[in-house]
Each structure stands twice: as structure tokens, then as C-alpha cells.
Amino acid sequence: MRTTTLGRSDVAISELAFGAAAIGNLFAAVTDEEALAAVDAAWDSGVRYFDTAPHYGLGLSERRLGAALADRPREQFTVSTKVGRLLRPKDAPVGSDLVDGFDVPDTHERVWDFSATGVRRGIEESLVRMGLDRIDIVYLHDPDHHEEQAFGSAYPELERLRAEGVVGAIGAGMNQTRMLDRFVRETDVDVVLLAGRYSLLDQSGLASLLPEAARRGVSVVVGGVFNSGLLADPKPAATFDYAPVPADVLERALRLKALCEGTGVPLRAAALQFPLGHPAVAGVLVGARSAVEARDAAAMAELDVPAQLWRTLRTEGLLPRDVPLPTAARTNAGS
């Protein structure tokens, strides 16, 4: 699988990344065996970049991912996790964490903390949960409502940790473009993780963030390529950005599906590969809760998508006329 080095760092990622939120019981429980099988299938498919966070299942995702990678040669894979939410034991758990999206017992609470001390403590705790000797990439996780502290305290601490060699690459992960654009312009991040804002249905990342990242040599990892499921299987019951899909968006998704299938290409493949057309995009992050889903993501990433399909989507007004198309970028990408 193609690989790319992030920004000016020495950290390399595979073009397809394994998103480990699902093995933290996102929306529904999976067993330890299913989680392990998902990671194994991704590995066997060539995936070497794995992303997690303490938020995912109150640490369950980190623990499961660390266990699944424990017997792999450490120099052969890249792991990212996130800081900004510390996990603290609850005195009186009352049920499950489904209110925050994860089917796990609510044994802990998340405490927002973008202080320098919180960042360092978060990394130390993640290392323990994963059983790793180092973390390759650390993202500030959803600092939307903590902008001043994120830029004034958390980010400078990440710079110090990178200089100390504790982490290899630093960045921020969000589902909005404005603050990520600020990180790219005002800091020395290696990478930003953009969720849901550069997809077949939402190209808002193209307005400023992606061109600026390309100009400054900052890498972008794109998550949410299916826009929370709609582009995986467009239907009235599907969700778009974690909410019921609006009628006009569903109609657009169904048009995309029909044009893709008319050339023999599953919509999933086009959705997954589309972001890779932009020169700033180093990889796409796709979640998987089973071996079947992990293998499917790898197959969709490697499927040959005819150049004519991309041109048709642009001609039909489903993509902007100036949007970079994947074919040329993938021909020259990585190693």
C-alpha cells in the first residue's frame, strides 16, 4: 500500500488508515475477538496506520488497539492518538456511555483539559492503555470550545514533546475547517485530521484549508469520507453528519451512486478515493468494526476507478469544476 511522510516529520503513514473508534464500541458493542479480527484484517490488507483516542469507548479503543498490535514489529506501524479529554473514574457509575455514543459502562468521565499539564498527562495515560513505548502522532482532539487554551497552552506543549522526541508528529483533529486553517497558518503542525469536510458531498475544505496546507507543506488526513454512513449506502434511513439526511442531500447521494454504478464502481470506492486527489491529502481514515469491513475498505481503496467517472461527476455538477481529481495524484503518490 502506498505510503506518505507527514509534513516535515519522519513519520510515514499508509494511504488507508484504520479508524479505531468502532472497536471502542461506537454506537454498538463488538467483542474483543471481533476487534482483534478487524485489526488483523486491516494489517493483512497492508494498512500500517492506526488511529485512536481516549474518547473512544472511555479508553477501550486504545486498550484493544494496543493489544492487537502488541506482537507486531514496532517499526512497521504508525499509531496516532489524541489529547484534550482526560479520563477520570466516576464515584458512582449509573449505566452506559451511550449518551456519548459508546456502548460501554460509564465507569469514567471525560474531563476537557488543553493545559500543558493535561496534554502531557494524557499522552502518559494513553501509552499505558496501549502498552506502547511511544506514540507516533498526537492530535489535539476537537478543541472547538477551547481555542485560546489550545493555541496558548496545548499546542506549545506538543511542540516541546516533539522536540524531546516523545512524539514524532503533531497536529489537530476536528470536523471544521476554520480552526484547522488557523493551525496550518499560525503553527508548525505536521498534519491536521479533517473529518467530514472533504468528501463527495462536502468540499468545504477546498476553500482555504487544503490549498494552504499544500502551500505550507502540511499534510492532511481526511476522515468521515462516508459522511457518517450516507455515502456507504444512500437510503432515506441513512444519516448525514450524524443526523437524519435532508432530502436534497439524499437525492445528490443517489445521483452519485447511480453514476458510479453505471461504470461498475461502488460508491464506497469513489467516496474513499476522492480526497486522495488533492496534493495535500496524505491518507484517508476509515473506521471498521469487523474483519469484513476492514477488508472491504482496503478493497475499495485499491479498486481501479476510471478517470472518466471523475470527469463525469464534474460535468454533471456533482463536483466543482476546479476540484483536483484522484487519477493523476494517485499515479505519482507515495512509495
- Active-site residue set: 56
Cβ–Cβ < 8 Å for 127, 54:
no
Q: Grid cell 488557523 — which residue?
A: 182
- 82-98 burial string, b = 16+ CB within 10 Å, else e? bbbbbbeeeeeeeeebe
Three-class secondary structure assignment of 233-269: CCCCCCEECCEECCHHHHHHHHHHHHHHHHCCCCHHH
How is residue 323 written as a grid cell?
476540484
- Helix 209-216, helix 178-186: angle, nearest 10: 20
The DSSP element (H or E) to which 302 belongs, if any, is helix 291-302
The whole-angstrom separation of Cα 227 and Cα 242 is 8
CA-based torsion, 257, 176, 66, 163: positive or negative: positive
Give the DSSP per-residue string, 104-140. Answer: EE--EEEEE--SHHHHHHHHHHHHHHHT-S-EEEEEE
Cβ neighbours of residue 9 under 8 Å, at least 6 residues apart? 168, 169, 190, 191
Write phi, then psi, for 84 (nearest 5 degrees): 130, -20
